Structure 1
Amino acid sequence: MTPARLLGLGRATPPHSIPQEDAREWARAQFAGRFPAFERLAPVFANAGISNRHIAMPVEWYLQPQNWATRTAAYRDVGRTLFIAAARDALDASGLTPADIDIVVTVSSTGIATPSLEALAHAELGLRADVVRVPVFGLGCAGGVSGFALAARLAAAQPGARVLMVTVELCSLSFREDMLTKANVVATALFGDGAAAAVLSTEGPATVAVTAAAEHLWPDTLDVMGWDVAPHGFGVIFAQSIPALIARHLRTTLAGMCAQLGVARADIGRFVCHPGGAKVVEALETSLDLAAGSLDAERTVLAANGNMSAPSVLFVLHRALADNLLPTDRPSAMLALGPGFTLSSALLTPLP
């Protein structure tokens, strides 16, 4: 099949932002008096590699008791707005209009909406009545690459079709003042909100094509990362150290995945990775045999936005393309890790 080309990328963030220092003091006010371990965990705010984050709601909203109804209302409202903004940005970059889109893939794991976000955005965005909708839930941080790869497969399977992939994650809505756990404090230090979009088709001007994709789910790792569904909302699960898991498994796993992708590890000229946190980025560089500091675009995105879950890797790809960081003579590989515990990859091949 003719591979799908990347015609355009888009990004969007909510208008509210919080510097990391303010987030630390806010978390201290919420947790320190009730959770003796907080001060031992507090250095994660300084060590996460984050300077600023964007959040869905004003800070005052998070200080009030929230439940499924209020969190879902915020998810629907802000998620719809960010979906439209990211989609328009990607469509403008591709030179297409919403009416040109044949298939829309929506990736999100931080809220539940039925009808799903693309249906909520449909009328205002201007999508056609016959557009094919593919909402995807549960991929977490791996969703940026997995959703991107799925959109590329759909585009390749229907030559000439234009596929819009949008991922929206509002991680901050899962903040739980009632969860006095290490995982909740770490999540409060790491996660931000954002949206990203991509337009793919077998036809149109582009600099890269998505020529292959692969995934790997490690056995006995279902408890590594995910959501605990509780009466007041989602609660984050971090049952194991993600950097340690990367260090143990990534190098060996990647060798097998390269065979699936049809490329030798030595021929990959650049990695475009999901920046889950400073320690995750360091573990990726070590496991990928990269020089320290090689994942510079990842660190820049992390510092400015925190870990936005699925959209983050597309923010990194946008920066890499804008700064001409992808080699023109060798392929690049997108990588993201998420619940399952899963490694998702996509191969980007330069076009003449």
Structure 2
Amino acid sequence: MTSVFANAGIAQRQLARPVEWYLTPRDFTERTAVYLEVALDLFVMAAEAALAEAGLGAEAIDTIVTVSSTGIATPSLEARAMARMGFRSDVARVPVFGLGCAGGVTGLGLAAKLARAAPGSTILFVAVELCSLALRTDNVGKADIIATALFGDGGAACVVTSGDEGFVQLCGNAEKTWPETLDIMGWEMESRGMGVVLNQAIPAFTRRHMHEAMKQLLEPQGLHVGDVDRFIVHPGGAKVVDAMETALGLGQGSLDHEREVLRLHGNMSAPTALFVLDRARNAGLPPLSVLTALGPGFTASTLTLKRAA
């Protein structure tokens, strides 16, 4: 397995539990208990950081959009966080499951739609994933080996409003789902928990299809691929990043923020795109960017970003 880890482009990752915990077989009940504990802590940590940067208290939030696909929580994470964070009792809750790696982009686009639909409202978007809870030491196949080398845990959050505040305007989002591609990426529900479905053809599929898909996604917005100053890409893996550069006609190595997030955190599924967006923001966003990710379905999700004046 050494070569798999060496080629992953990952130097460090954050995990919900110490490495030793994963060496013992765990059933779905044990994995769920860890999810409820650690995912809630991550939700609160990310949400509090986003609110602090926005200069807001939890009572200012009208709607919470929560994206997570690596565990089951009913009541969902935002309900469990209400007492700890002080959200209003009338806050609207929108938990979203099943988006996988595309969740950061699709969820942020959903938050933007909700903000536009209710002018004056303030939306909190939180993405939390504990991918490590799917790591296996029993019945290990190729997908399990790749997942063990690739995935990490993390959470991210941001505040979305319908006003002019903030560093970027969320202008348009779009998705494309290819038919008969359900076996490319996702989960298999098993007695021991969630088993990863990860097709090794993803980089090749990306190289073949992503340029035409991006043209179709941007065309209704009156945009072309060449109009985009910066693509901000979910780094699904080192080979996927390479494939995105090829498909979109980008210079080799141009997706530098993506590779750095992958190196420091691994693929955290939904939150990862927000980690890349944060690095791009801190480096200085160009006038027009497109945030994009690939996820189960098999689906490409995009969100068009215009730098705030």
Shorter-chain TM-score bucket reads: over 0.9
Q: Is residue 16 of structure 2 the alignment partner of residue 59 of structure 1? A: no
For residues 181 and 64 of structure 1, the distance between their equivalents in structure 2, rounded to whole angstroms, comes to 17
Q: Is residue 12 of structure 2 the alignment partner of residue 47 of structure 1? A: no
Query: In structure 2, what residue type is equivalent to 1:348?
Result: L
- The residue aligned with 2:176 is 216
Corresponding residue to 2:49 among 56, 74, 89: 89
SS where residue 275 of structure 2 aligns? Answer: helix
For residues 92 and 140 of structure 2, the distance between their equivalents in structure 1, rounded to whole angstroms, comes to 43
For residues 136 and 77 of structure 1, the distance between their equivalents in structure 2, rounded to whole angstroms, comes to 19
Q: CA deviation at 1:146?
A: 0.3
Corresponding residue to 1:235 among 182, 195, 208: 195
Q: CA deviation at 1:242?
A: 0.8
SS where residue 297 of structure 2 aligns? Answer: coil
Q: CA deviation at 1:206?
A: 1.6
For residues 93 and 215 of structure 1, the distance between their equivalents in structure 2, rounded to whole angstroms, comes to 30
- What is the alpha-carbon root mean square deviation over aligned residues? 1.0
Corresponding residue to 1:340 among 294, 297, 305: 297
Q: Is residue 159 of structure 2 the alignment partner of residue 179 of structure 1? A: no
User: Structure 2: 5+ residue runs without aligned partners?
Assistant: none
Are the aligned partners of 1:104 and 1:118 in contact in 2 as well (CA < 8 Å)?
A: yes
For residues 81 and 52 of structure 2, the distance between their equivalents in structure 1, rounded to whole angstroms, comes to 17
Are the aligned partners of 1:261 and 1:347 in contact in 2 as well (CA < 8 Å)?
A: no
Identity across matched positions, percent = 54
Are the aligned partners of 2:172 and 2:221 in contact in 1 as well (CA < 8 Å)?
A: yes
- The residue aligned with 1:305 is 265
Correspondence list, 1:137-216, <5 A? 137-216=97-176
Q: Is residue 208 of structure 2 the alignment partner of residue 248 of structure 1? A: yes
Q: CA deviation at 1:262?
A: 3.1
For residues 342 and 166 of structure 1, the distance between their equivalents in structure 2, rounded to whole angstroms, comes to 21
Q: CA deviation at 1:260?
A: 2.6
SS where residue 104 of structure 1 aligns? Answer: strand
Deviation string, structure 1 residues 123-178 (Cα, Å, up to 9, x no partner): 10111100000000000000000000000100011011000000000000111111
For residues 124 and 299 of structure 2, the distance between their equivalents in structure 1, rounded to whole angstroms, comes to 24
- The residue aligned with 2:89 is 129
Are the aligned partners of 2:25 and 2:136 in contact in 1 as well (CA < 8 Å)?
A: no
186-195 or 259-268: bigger deviation: 259-268
- The residue aligned with 2:61 is 101
Q: CA deviation at 1:61?
A: 1.3
Are the aligned partners of 1:214 and 1:260 in contact in 2 as well (CA < 8 Å)?
A: no
User: Structure 1: 5+ residue runs without aligned partners?
Assistant: 1-38
Query: In structure 1, what residue type is equivalent to 2:191?
Result: P
Q: CA deviation at 1:331?
A: 1.2
- The residue aligned with 1:28 is none
For residues 76 and 135 of structure 2, the distance between their equivalents in structure 1, rounded to whole angstroms, comes to 22
SS where residue 154 of structure 2 aligns? Answer: strand
For residues 178 and 186 of structure 1, the distance between their equivalents in structure 2, rounded to whole angstroms, comes to 14
For residues 350 and 180 of structure 1, the distance between their equivalents in structure 2, rounded to whole angstroms, comes to 45
TM-score relative to the length of structure 2: 0.98
SS where residue 53 of structure 1 aligns? Answer: coil
Are the aligned partners of 1:214 and 1:261 in contact in 2 as well (CA < 8 Å)?
A: no
For residues 204 and 251 of structure 1, the distance between their equivalents in structure 2, rounded to whole angstroms, comes to 32
Correspondence list, 1:253-268, <5 A? 253-268=213-228
Q: CA deviation at 1:112?
A: 0.3
Q: CA deviation at 1:288?
A: 0.8
Q: CA deviation at 1:294?
A: 0.5
For residues 239 and 285 of structure 1, the distance between their equivalents in structure 2, rounded to whole angstroms, comes to 20
Deviation string, structure 1 residues 16-57 (Cα, Å, up to 9, x no partner): xxxxxxxxxxxxxxxxxxxxxxx5xx4121111100000001
Q: CA deviation at 1:244?
A: 0.6
- The residue aligned with 2:36 is 76
231-240 or 50-59: bigger deviation: 231-240
